[in-house]
């Protein structure tokens, strides 16, 4: 009962399922603001661009959260989803690469709001080291290993030029980092116990390009 979520996590959960859970959570949060008390799988589905059966199946991997005939309690399901996604705690995040993207991410309030706390930003450029962004100080990349040894961040965001990405990742991993959000357009080679997610904007544009080129047939 302490962790309804955990008790079911025997079979591997598909990536696509986790992404949808994230989407449901966001919609639930919006609904709560609007004062909605209860929501059906069908309403959740329409907003999330999926089907009600999909919503129920996704949730069923983790437990049984709804009331038949009624739907789901917005606050209860919100809390369960946060639990499932591991958002019940704060995660320490470092940003590596204080360039255009790193800067945008470091100043973005949305992450803190969801429990991702940026503890430090690193760069190799002497012109950037020591500069302050709001509450965040850009630190010297040569310190990263020492800092990680002291407080290991849960997640490292990699926002360095593509040619530096693998080396930087190797350094972080050697220092103990187990999860990386990579913005460089390259497939990082990492050991099996390290998780990587990629945000590849050029790839998304290419996906649109493919669709546009193949509209005809």
Considering beta carbons, is residue 14 or 104 the nearer one to DNA? 14
Of 28, 101, 121, 165, the one binding a copy of itself (CB under 8 A) is 101
Among DNA, a copy of itself, ligand NAD, none, partner that 71 touches (CB below 5 to 8 angstroms by kind): DNA
CB of 64 to DNA, least distance (A): 3
The residue range among 12-20, 146-154, 157-165, 204-212 that interacts with ligand NAD, by the rule CB under 6 A, is 157-165
The residue range among 53-61, 70-78, 81-89, 142-150 that interacts with a copy of itself, by the rule CB under 8 A, is 81-89
Q: Hey, what are 35's tokens? A: 């004062």
Nearest to 143 by CA among 118, 120, 116: 120
CB-closest chain residue to ligand NAD: 99
Q: Using alpha carbons only, what angle is made at residue 175 by residues 179 and 120, rounded to the nearest 5 degrees?
A: 70
Is 51 an interacting residue with respect to a copy of itself (CB under 8 A)? no
Task: Restricting to residues 68-107, name those near ligand NAD by CB under 6 A.
Answer: 96-102, 104-105
Nearest to 153 by CA among 164, 144, 141, 143: 144
Considering beta carbons, is residue 101 or 148 the nearer one to ligand NAD? 101
Which residues does 28 contact at the CB level (< 8 Å), separation at least 6? 39, 44, 74, 77, 78, 81
User: DSSP per residue over 65-102, as a string?
Assistant: -EETTTEEEHHHHHHHHHHHTTTTS-EEEEEE--SHHH
Q: Hey, what are 7's tokens? A: 């008790």
CB of 199 to DNA, least distance (A): 19
């Amino acid at each position: 009962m302490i962790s309804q979520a955990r008790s079911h996590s025997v079979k591997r959960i598909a990536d696509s399922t986790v992404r949808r859970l994230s989407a449901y959570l966001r919609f639930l949060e919006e609904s709560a603001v609007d004062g909605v008390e209860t929501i059906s799988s069908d309403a959740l589905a329409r907003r999330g661009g999926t089907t009600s059966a999909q919503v129920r199946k996704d949730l069923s991997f983790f437990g049984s959260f709804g009331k038949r005939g009624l739907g789901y309690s917005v606050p209860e399901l919100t809390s369960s989803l946060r639990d499932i996604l591991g958002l019940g705690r704060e995660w320490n995040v470092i940003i590596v690469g204080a360039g255009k993207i790193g800067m945008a991410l470091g100043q973005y309030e949305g992450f803190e709001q969801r429990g991702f706390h940026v503890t430090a930003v690193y760069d190799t450029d002497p012109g950037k080291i020591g500069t302050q962004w709001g509450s965040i100080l850009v630190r010297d990349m040569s310190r990263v290993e020492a800092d990680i040894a002291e407080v290991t961040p849960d997640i490292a965001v990699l926002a360095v030029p593509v040619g530096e990405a693998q080396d930087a990742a190797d350094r972080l991993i050697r220092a103990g980092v187990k999860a990386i959000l990579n913005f460089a357009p390259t497939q990082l080679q990492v050991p099996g116990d390290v998780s990587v997610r990629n945000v590849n904007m050029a790839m998304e544009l290419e996906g649109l390009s493919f669709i546009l080129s193949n509209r005809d047939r």
